[in-house]
Structures are given as C-alpha cells and as structure tokens.
Amino acid sequence: MKTPRLKILIAQINTTVGDLEGNRDKIIAALRFAKESHADLVTFPELAINGYPPEDILHKDYFVLDNLNILKTLVSQTKGIAAIIGFVDRDKKKRLYNAAALIVNQKIRAIYHKIHLPNYGVFDERRYFTPGTVPVIMDLGRFSLSVTICEDIWRKDSYVYQRGYRGKASLLVNISASPYHTHKQTERQKLIKNLAVKTRSTVIYHNLVGGQDELVFDGGSMAVNASGRTLGEAKRFMEDFLTIDLGSQKPARLPTPLGHQAEVYQALVLGTHDYIQKNNFKKVLVGLSGGIDSALVACIAADALGPKNVVAVTMPSPYTSQETYQDAKLLAKNLSIQCLKFRIHKIFKQYLTAFKGVFSGHPPDTTEENLQARIRGNVLMALSNKFGHLVLTTGNKSEMATGYCTLYGDMAGGFAVIKDVPKTLIFGLARYRNSLGASPVIPTSILKRPPTAELRRDQTDQDTLPPYSLLDRFLELYVEKDMSIEAAVRRGIPKAIAIKTARMVDRNEYKRRQSPPGIKITPKAFGRDRRMPITNRYRL
C-alpha cells in the first residue's frame, strides 16, 4: 500500500526560559521557513513558548497570561499550515498544564495536556503542573495524528504502550525537552524505534536544543517509521531544521555519529556558550595554572565564545614551578587569548605575617595552602567586579566529590564548566581537543605531568586522593548508581579506598552546596540530580 504524502518540518530551535518574545520570534521565523519549504506540518519542542524548565516563574500569574497571549499571536501566523507548539495551559481553576496546541490554518484544533509528569532527577513537573487525562488523536489529511509530550513515551505504563492504542495513530508526534547525559542519544534511538514498531506508527521525536543553567539539551530529533527504519535525524548540539517527507523515496538524512569524547566536549561548549550569552555576559576569566583542568576550561571557553572573549590569569605563588607557569603562557598563546599575570608572593607573605602571632606553635598545614587559593579567588573576583567578566571555575567532578577544593578559593566564580566531568575523562577530552587542530593547543607536558595543586613543595593530588582510575570508578558506583561500599568492594574497589572516599564524599556536601552551577554530562550530577542533606548522620 502506498504511503500518503505529508511533509513535516521539525524546527529544532534553541529557546530561552522566560524570553517569551524572543521565543515567539524564533517560532514565527520557523513557520515562515516551513511555508517557504511547502511543509504541511511544523513541530516545535516542549514548552517552546516558555523555554524549559521555567521552574518557579510558573508561580507568576502574569507569566502564564503572557504565554497564552503569545500563543494567540502564533495562531494567527499559521495560515496555510499546521503546527504543534508547546506552551503552558491553564484551566478555570487556575491549574497549570504542560501542553501542546495543535493548530491548523489559524485555528486551534486540539490542546493536549501532558499525562505523565516526571518528578525525579532534574525534573520537578509535579510541583507546577496537573497531569492530563485524555490522549489526543485527530485527523490531519490522510493521517491520524497523536501528540505526546516527552515523558509520555518513556513510561512503560503509558497509554501509548497499551494494546488498545496500537494502530490508532498512523503518525505519533512527541515534543520533548530531554536533557543530555552520556549515551542518552543511544537510549532515545532504541526507545523511538521500539515505540514505532509497537504502536505501528511513524514517530516524530522532536527534542529541544540549547543550554539552560546546568542542563544541556542536545537536539538529535528524529523520525522513525512503523517498521523501525530511521527516516531522518537532526544534528546534535545546534539548531537545525529537519524535513521529513512521508511518502517520498528520498534517502534519510543521518548525521555522522559522535564519539563519546566528541559529544561530551560539544555539550560543554554549548552549555558554556548559552550560559554566558543568555545571561548577558560578554567575556570570561579563567585562572590558568598550567594544569590540565584549567587548560581544558580555557579551550572550551575559547571554542564557545571566541578567543577575544576569554581572559586568562596566571597567579604564580612560591610553589609554582617554572614548567607549569611556562605551560600556562604557551597554552594562552596557542589559543590566542589574552593572558594577565599576578604574582601572589607578596600578598601571601603579608597574610603569613598577619597570622604569625595567632598561628604560633601550629605547624603549616592546609590552612596556608588554602590561603593561596583564596588569594587567587580574590584576584579573579576583583577583575570580575571591575570589568564585568564572569569567572569560570576549573574544578572537576572528582575534586568536587571529595572536597579536594577550597571554598572561596578555586571554587569562587560564576560557572563551573567541568563540575560534572571526572578527572579520567578530563584527560580524554584534552587529547580529543588536541586532535582537532594541525598541532596540539594543550602542551603535551601538561598531559604527562602528575596532577598537582602546587600549594606546597613536591605536592601531587595522590598525596590526598586515591588514584583517579579507582576514585572515578568508585564515584560512578557510589554517587551515580547509589551502590553501597560493600557493593563497590565486590566490584573491585579496595575496601580501604572505598571507605575513605565515601567519607570524603559524605562530609563535603556543605562545600558542594556553595559551588557555582555547572554543566551536567553524567547520568547523575551533584546539585539538581543528587540532593543530599548537609546535616546528615547516616553513614554506610
């Protein structure tokens, strides 16, 4: 049987939370493009008018009313075309719904309310929305069209998987705002193919793209027919218009799959770019130590914002080696970024002199080490205050997990780019970035040197921490998978290391709570994902 024709444009746009007018303009531009492309139907992501997630802005009545007025404006722009647009709906009892409007030729034909509201991990939708109760299926040309929103297709008890639903819709559209973490796209591809086959529908999966605070939405929208064949897939980590011509014999448009390190790096670049741009900053400051963490952050910042918008700051102390200082300067030169130098020797000496009487009789310890980190934090924040640049912190997930970082020191800043990146992956990302150019931008000596904070003589990270290969494996089990110490030991982690590391993780929640937001790239990140009490006497 010949498939009827229907040309669909998936408008994978980058929306901004609260920017109703800006989001409206993007939607109108996409509608115009869809008409010029002779599309019959154009789809937009979940809560396209509002941006996702709008969080407590939803408690403001006027925000909801403004969003409804924007929807009316958009309805008037749909002459000669059908559109599915995500918005916030409200009933007479002022209950809110995560909704999708099905508009055909300047008339709203149906409104669907999301039935399954996620309330786990980074999601809090039950805090704001009332779940819908009624699926929507309507005719669009020779197709029966069903609209779902994100979680509706992830829940195995969802109505879309029930036997009575099978075959009812020849076209199932899912508008979504699905955040990125490693291997997420593979999960989506498997889910959508299974859904298409089970429902006997062509499935249009439309994902959001862009950064929103800690979250990165990676796009990768796709279409899969009822036999499980992919008809097309949108680009990742960028805006894209994907045309799906049902009934046509055109070959599928499939982007080259991204490797693990490539997709993580692109997520970090997009998340950094959008956080800076959407919050109206122009330039960033990076404390450049000559170590691998700050080197990677500087690369990400330069790629996200352009070299002219990145200012590196070297702050050598009495314990900074000539090698690391020279590496920091060489990296800045390779990236073509401005590099400022502030020697902190005199300031550090003044602190020691001021505390000499009080500290008398107490040997030097981490107090003196942390003083250096806090001096550097003060330097960076002074530059930030004076010039309006945002400070990017350079701590990784391994350090944040164990508290191997200094409050009001290296934790001082506005955005923590690699906060959710384990140290072992930091090395992989640095090598990946070096592979992109004709010659390495990160000096190879940085990659080879044992990690060190250089806050005392002959210091290395492993004086305090377990080997990173063991540490990161334990953190994956204990933090991301919530396994017990005993379970981690059964999986090869030495018991002494497991006990020591678990204690470090547990007692440093107070530090993490005071850290800047940072980009989520793992299945469970500190902050929105993992919400532990600071005052907590339970110990495994």
| Residue type present at position 88 | V
pTM of the model: 0.95
Residue 163 has pLDDT above 90, yes or no: no
46, 233, 369, 399: which one is catalytic?
Answer: 46
Model confidence band, residue 437 (pLDDT cutoffs 50, 70, 90)? confident
Tell me whether residue 114 is one of the annotated catalytic residues.
yes
- 119 within 8 A of 125, measured Cβ to Cβ: yes
Tell me whether residue 79 is one of the annotated catalytic residues.
no
Helix (H, G, I), strand (E, B) or coil at 374: helix
- CB under 8 Å to 382, separation ≥6 — which residues? none
Distance, in Å, from the CA atom of 70 to the CA atom of 500, rounded to the nearest integer, reads 55
- 9 within 8 A of 242, measured Cβ to Cβ: yes
Quickly count: other Cβ atoms within 10 Å of residue 167's Cβ: 12
Model confidence band, residue 289 (pLDDT cutoffs 50, 70, 90)? very high
Model confidence band, residue 461 (pLDDT cutoffs 50, 70, 90)? confident
Q: What angle do CA 286, 290, 293 make, to 5 degrees?
A: 60
Distance, in Å, from the CA atom of 323 to the CA atom of 331, rounded to the nearest integer, reads 12
- 122 within 8 A of 528, measured Cβ to Cβ: yes
**CATH code for residues 263-461:** 3.40.50.620
Distance, in Å, from the CA atom of 133 to the CA atom of 462, rounded to the nearest integer, reads 55
Residue 1 has pLDDT above 60, yes or no: no
Residue 3 has pLDDT above 80, yes or no: no
Question: What is the reported pLDDT for 540?
Answer: 65
Average pLDDT of the segment spanning 341-361: 95
Burial of 25 (0-12, 13-18, 19+ CB in 10 A): exposed
Tell me whether residue 299 is one of the annotated catalytic residues.
no
Of 494, 452, 444, the residue nearest 474 (C-alpha): 494
Burial of 500 (0-12, 13-18, 19+ CB in 10 A): middle
- CB under 8 Å to 332, separation ≥6 — which residues? 288, 298, 312, 338, 339
Question: What is the reported pLDDT for 528?
Answer: 85
Average pLDDT of the segment spanning 142-154: 94
- What would the two tokens of residue 187 be? 């999960």
- What would the two tokens of residue 81 be? 């075309």
Of 58, 192, 194, the residue nearest 117 (C-alpha): 58
Average pLDDT of the segment spanning 98-103: 98
pLDDT tens, 244-261? 999 887 778 888 899 999
Average pLDDT of the segment spanning 212-237: 96
Question: What is the reported pLDDT for 451?
Answer: 84
Phi then psi for residue 531, to 5 deg, are: -110, 90
In this chain, the answer to whether the domains covering 6-250 and 263-461 adopt an identical fold is no
Question: What is the reported pLDDT for 457?
Answer: 84
- 515 within 8 A of 409, measured Cβ to Cβ: no
The 3-class secondary structure across 487-505, one letter per residue, is HHHHCCCCHHHHHHHHHHH
- What would the two tokens of residue 510 be? 């107070």
Helix (H, G, I), strand (E, B) or coil at 76: coil
Average pLDDT of the segment spanning 204-228: 97
- 244 within 8 A of 223, measured Cβ to Cβ: yes
The domain spans of the chain are 6-250, 263-461
> H or E element: which one contains 300?
helix 292-305
Residue 281 has pLDDT above 70, yes or no: yes
Q: What angle do CA 516, 517, 521 make, to 5 degrees?
A: 135
What class does CATH assign to 6-250? alpha beta
Quickly count: other Cβ atoms within 10 Å of residue 265's Cβ: 25
26, 114, 283, 520: which one is catalytic?
Answer: 114
> H or E element: which one contains 334?
helix 322-335
Mean pLDDT of the chain: 94
Phi then psi for residue 20, to 5 deg, are: -60, -45
- 293 within 8 A of 269, measured Cβ to Cβ: no
| Residue type present at position 57 | I
- What would the two tokens of residue 371 be? 């003083």
26, 125, 150, 405: which one is catalytic?
Answer: 150
Share of the chain above pLDDT 90, in %: 89
| Residue type present at position 409 | G
Residue 537 has pLDDT above 90, yes or no: no
Q: Fill in the DSSP letter of residue 478.
A: I
Model confidence band, residue 243 (pLDDT cutoffs 50, 70, 90)? very high
pLDDT tens, 32-82? 999 999 999 999 999 999 999 999 999 999 999 999 999 999 999 999 999
Chain centroid, CA 283 distance in Å: 20
Provide the pairing of β-strand 230-233 with 222-224.
antiparallel
